[in-house]
Structure 1
């Protein structure tokens, strides 16, 4: 109990919040870097052509034979069937880019919201409406990523396949529960903070 009390003090909490804020900024920077490389054609996928199957193919190699110095791997298994000329058409490429955006942008936004919470905690601004809102947004983003993003990805692939001879398919949703449960937990945490703020306001008004 004494160890717990020593750990749960303002100095330790502020230091931990500062470290976590820095970690969030590193994750955001890494996510932006991955997004840039994905839009440059370095998102990996499995390519099927008339000459064979190529694991960990990237559009940059397929288009220009560029040196592979960084490849972005996602949680989804992406499969692309080239057309009769062994080419990947623009709608298929656009779908691949859209999948990358759907994977990375929500993550960047989620960690930005967390960084704002840690910034406020570092300033000893804990039970605030702003923190409750940021935690709520983080939870909603996780739930959105778990429940809706997989279906949006499937829709994107379906639309691309309607307008191109090359085809793209995806195996997605494997991490749905890993996102859904934390998202719900953060919604509950946001409610607890909001409820605590209202109770504190009532106490202040009573006094």
Structure 2
């Protein structure tokens, strides 16, 4: 009997198939565990990512939320704006025919009143403006600073030279920046002002009054 077993090929012996079956079970179990861990990890990452996104939106400052608003062809809808800024303080229907409406938000930010106005045309944001920003400049802006800028400079160049504007509006993609605080005045009896228009991320117009 033993001689017959010894004469059998190894693939016809019982121990060979038991070993093959054991290897198959181990490999299958390992693959299942690995796949489960991968998809579980992927799902956990998605949940964490969603939580981070929600937290980021919730933690945006008022000015950051304002900057999120798109105007023109890709303008936000009224629903999207309200989701971002909350319910408006007032609503004014300007023109029923062309579906033009103006919504205003009067909010407090660091103890200061901030007014945001958004104009909608046919359900999309066409213009926006913000007033009352608390700008803390480290020094007075002068005519020398103003002269550092020229038509064709990009938007970030303006912010690098002058800092954040006091008032900021955007009408169909044309940004208007107004600087009126901490300006060196040539004549102290008149207010100084810097006004800059930006289109397609480039300065297209610069004006100033009473800068020293």
TM interval, short-chain normalised: under 0.3
What TM-score do you get using the length of structure 1 for normalisation? 0.23
Query: Which one scores higher on RCO, CA 8 angstroms, separation ≥ 6?
Result: 1
From the two aligned structures, give the one with the greater helix fraction. 1
What TM-score do you get using the length of structure 2 for normalisation? 0.23
Bigger Rg, structure 1 or 2 = 2
From the two aligned structures, give the one with the greater strand fraction. 2
